[in-house]
Copies of this chain bind each other. A is one copy, B any other.
Amino acid sequence: MVHHGGRAGGDGRAGLDDVARLAGVSLSTASRALNNHPQVAAATRERVLAAAAGLDYVVSPDASRLAGRSSRARVAVVVPHLSRWFFGRLLEGLEVGLRDGDPDGGAGVDQLLFLVGDVAGRRAFFEDLPARRRVDAAVVVGFEVDEVEQRRLELLGVSIVSAGGPREPFPSVTVDDLRAGRQAVDHLVHLGHRRIGMLATADPADRGPDLRSRAYRTALTDAGVPDDPDLVVRVPFGPAGGAEGMGRLLGLRRPPTAVFAYSDEVAAGAVRAVQRAGLRVPDDISVVGIDDHPLAGLLDLTTVAQPVHEQGVVAGGMVRVLLAGGDPPPSQVLPTHLVLRGSTAPPGAAGRAET
């Protein structure tokens, strides 16, 4: 049986030889005792264990793994951003989900963080992984895993869970972005708006937001509202993008009476742009977002709430099932709901004249 740790190093750590000496046994006996070898007398094993405890001796994790003991599972947590609330919040939920039910309080799982800020970073992550085979599972948050990468991970036996992003052949937890988009736009339609703008994602690979654009279009179609391409402005993520996009919408010969922004952080910038132009939300123009970001309450923003923390918790639960060798758990779609605040209202007199 392999057992590392014979040297008590200059770093002050107790080695196996220190334990053996304290217990008054040979090195090999100490090793067998700690490895629960059946041939070691109970009294001897007790003495060795007591010596080990007294010296704060710990079996080298590497050696114990090789000796066949269970070792800590390694879970890669792969995110494109960390400074965006969505990702931080989901990761907080993931921590809860990974820990839940574990008597060790989560001490059995190592979470390895991989920040993959761009496509090159993601590609590097997937290429790097095979060469090291260092994780047992990976939670991919908010981005797609293409077929090449998928196949690679399957060959390595790395279980994947996708959270807060596209649904893949592997277990995922997400929200129905089409439905969330419908909830937002149908709300504007129900208020009486017919000239509705959209601040859409500039990144067609950003699948969730892209689905929200689709929802916008079908909601208008179902409401019998004609499509006007001028009313759709593509913007990068964030308040600056929202402000810039709203500026363009306000500059149209016939501006919209309401705007749907694909994310609250975009909506927040849009609202500010309206206010800086000396106009008022919702009196002059209504704005609705998606997320129910903590910002939304602050800005009195009507939005569609998605359960972000819960997506993380569910993802953690799925990982635990896979690590335990269970069948891939079924994917889950968590519900979203409209949160009415003060940024939406029926169109003003000018708007109603449109219909």
Q: Collect the chain B residues with CB atoms within 8 Å of residue A134's CB.
A: 61, 72, 110
CB <8 Å contact, B132 and A61 = yes
Kindly state whether residue A107 has any CB partner on chain B within 8 Å: yes
Q: How large is the interface on A (under 10, 10 to 19, 20 to 34, 35 or more residues)?
A: 35 or more
Provide the bound-state CA to CA distance between A261 and B110, in Å.
37
Copies of this chain held together in the complex: 2
Chain B nearest Cβ from A274, distance in angstroms: 12
Inter-chain contacts of A128 with B (CB < 8 A): 107
Least CB distance from A22 to B in Å reads 18
Question: Which residues of chain B are near A81, meaning CB under 8 Å?
Answer: 88, 92
Contact for A4 among B66, B155, B238, CB less than 8 A: B66
Stretch of A111-119, A162-170, A201-209, A326-334 that contacts chain B: A111-119
Chain B residues near A153 (CB-CB < 8 A):
none
Contact A130 B56 (CB under 8 A): yes
A-B CB contact pairs (8 Å), 14 listed: A12-B155, A13-B133, A61-B134, A62-B62, A77-B113, A81-B88, A82-B82, A82-B88, A84-B88, A88-B88, A110-B112, A113-B113, A269-B298, A295-B295
Q: Which residue numbers of A lie inside 8 Å of B, CB to CB?
A: 2, 4, 11-13, 56, 58, 60-63, 65-66, 72, 77, 81-85, 87-89, 91-92, 95, 105, 107, 110-115, 117, 124, 128, 130-134, 155-157, 238-239, 268-269, 272, 294-295, 297-299
